[in-house]
Amino acid sequence: MKAALLIFSFALLGISESSFATDKNSHPLPAHAIAMHGSPKYAKDFKHFSYVNPSAPKGGTLNLYSFGNFDSLNPYILKGIPPSGIELTFDTLMTSAKDEPFTEYGLLAESVEVPADRSYIAFNLRKEARFHDHSPVTADDVVFSFKVLKEKGNPLYRYYYANVAKVETTSPHRVLFTFDKKADNRELPLILGQLPVFSAKSWEGKDFAATTLTPIIGSGPYKISAFEPGRYIVYERNPDYWGKDLPVNVGNYNFSKVKYDFYRDSTVALEAFKSGAFDLRIENEAKKWGTGYNFPAYEKGLVKKAEFRHHLPSGMQGFVFNTRKDIFKDRKVREALSYAFDFEWSNKHLFYDLYSRTKSFFDNSAMAATGLPSAKELKLLKPWEQQLPPEVFTSVYNPPETDGKGNVRPNLLKAFALLKEAGWEYKNGRLENAEGKPFAFEIMLDTASAGAWERITLPFVRNLKRLGIDARIRVVDVTQNQNRINSFDFDMITAVWGQSLSPGNEQRSYWGSAAADQAGSRNYSGIKNPAVDAIIEEIISAKDDKALNTAVKALDRVLLWGYYVIPQWHTKVTRIAFWDKFGMPETIPMQGVDIMNWWYDTEKAARLETRKPISKEDAS
């Protein structure tokens, strides 16, 4: 499932008691927004978010790129690969502001009602809300959407909605979600605010769980106008979009069309970008950012490069051990292999020193575990002391380091000692266990990113070979890669877990025991740890920021000392190269740059065309 899909980004938030007013009978009054603490930044009568240009012109085409292929237009199920950008066709009940970490505002829902005890949430729908076929969005559609996602959607939804006891309509435009009385799930009302709404009528006689190349009727700002699997998809702004004048949408969705072309790998895509085949490229490869843009259009100023700072947790990117495999079940083995990754050398010779080593699952935030556990953390960790590594309580986690000059011998000696303790011996030029079985495994890459990742992974493989380990790179196509990840059919992969400013229910799918055997979950490592499960529930039920930070730090320590991943690196900026034909707001919100509030600048575009270099093909 692509990370770009908004429904899976889940800016998971909570609610403060002071967010909602009540009437004389203590019934909650309808509110336009939900905030975690105090009042939302924007009052009920706000005109637009402060980080957009409310006068941004409409028009033009935004040409983007993606990798691999797609074979389904339903992004909410496990089967199939959806195309990039498909979230543009769907509206949700509420939407978040990118300059607030803990607030959501009404989209399909005009207002919400939440009592002080958080035992339910009611959404009051806008009567003007319409699907693309002009039919009204009703409470029945919301109920249908919730039930079909929970029953037939991606398994993630079963985790997110697990504490909803009942959903019902109380009027044609009001839907009520009642929560499990035993649940203490402060963010659940916000999770429900992220619910995409489908037309129940359009799904009559159809199987929601099946892949489809028939566009789904949504209510979002864009509709699919053309597509060819494996080549392109075009989204066209709906001129009749019901919500175009809502304050949450003013200044957004300014392009008349958004087109994605699909490429097999990043090197081909970069060359296509240089020729003007698409407009904008988010650059995740340090080498390309450092040296890959020295071409005529960039030198003439027709292509710009910019770094946009964000203030989000880094999350975790790392080499992931599949602990379902016997070879990786021993923690000492996983720790040993972490000594074979030389980040300092890679950063110096491959990344132009553009990255920082990741030392936490919540780096770049106050939630990252630092120092030894606090008294409050120990209160959460002590009950599980017998099931946790002693280092959780006694040591500060730091990944292995080198001098950056390729001298990994001291680290490999430490790795050898750990492997020997785990029962592995170096014999006949290879590492063997007591049964004489060699230590061998595959690191799976996909064809789209293999060009970049092979040069990163090969030095790691070479160091492993010095330990007598037969590690091999396996490159598979993008679709097969995703299907194998969904079914946990791999030894080791590189994966990324993004984190919000308020972690919560999604942690169950990342690390929870129940998710370890659930196909399509993001518990790639196969973690089954009762301490992890218990701490996740503490995160979900945290009453305030202090309690949340304490629980997240405790979880961070357990995950780090479990050696489920070999942490890689992160950066605090988003690097974007783009052809100079766009306008953009001056303010970059705390959650980072948002391309959908840029706009097509006709004057810049006209100047660009007159100065654009003539390609060899055109000249001939």
Query: pLDDT tens digits for 551-583?
Result: 999 999 999 999 999 999 999 999 999 999 999
Q: CA-based angle 84:90:93, to the nearest 5?
A: 135
pLDDT per residue as tens digits for the range 257-270: 999 999 988 889 99
User: CA-CA distances (angstroms) from residue 556 to 160, 523, 530, 539?
Assistant: 21, 15, 15, 11
Contact 313, 500 (CB under 8 A): yes
Residue 12 located in a structural domain:
yes
Q: What are phi and psi of 164, to 5 degrees?
A: -85, 115
Determine, yes or no, domain membership for 166.
yes
**């990994």: which residue's tokens?**
408
- The runs of H, that is alpha helices, within 350-389 are 375-381
Instruction: Indicate whether 442 belongs to any domain.
Output: no
- Asked whether residue 65 is domain-assigned, the answer is no
Q: How far apart are CA 121 and CA 178, in angstroms?
A: 7
Residue 350: give the domain boundaries.
316-425+449-467+486-570
Q: What is the pLDDT of residue 145?
A: 98
Give a yes or no: residue 341 inside a domain.
Answer: yes
Amino acid at 73: L
Distance CA 387, CA 33 (A): 42
H/E run at residue 168: strand 164-171
**Tokens matching residue 23:** 């009437």
d(CA 107, CA 118): 21
Same domain membership, residue 196 and residue 323: no
Distance CA 363, CA 313 (A): 6
Question: Of 526, 553, 570, which residue is a domain's last?
Answer: 570
Task: Establish if 436 belongs to a structural domain.
Answer: no
pLDDT score, position 101? 76
Q: Which residues of 390-415 are buried (b: 16+ CB within 10 A; e: fewer)?
A: eebbeeebebbebeeeeebeebbeeb
Query: What's the CATH code of the domain at 505?
Result: 3.10.105.10
Of 180, 200, 220, the domain-final residue: 200
**Which stretches of the chain drop beneath a pLDDT of 50?**
1-19, 614-620
The pair of structure tokens assigned to 151 is 């029953």
What pTM was estimated for this model as a whole? 0.87
Length of the chain: 620
Domain count for the chain: 2
End residue of a domain, out of 200, 223, 241: 200
Alpha-carbon distance of 371 to 241, in angstroms, equals 52
Pair (49, 177) in one structural domain? yes
> Is residue 334 included in any domain, yes or no?
yes
Q: How far apart (Å, rounded) are the C-alpha atoms in residues 546 and 36?
A: 13
Q: Provide φ and ψ at 527, rounded to 5°.
A: -70, 125
Instruction: Say what the pLDDT of residue 619 is.
Output: 35
Domain presence at residue 84:
no
Q: Closest Cα to residue 162, out of 508, 552, 486, 519?
A: 508
Q: pLDDT tens across 145-179, in order?
A: 999 999 999 988 988 898 999 999 999 999 999 99
CATH of residue 158: 3.40.190.10
Closest CA to 6 of 96, 130, 116, 67: 96
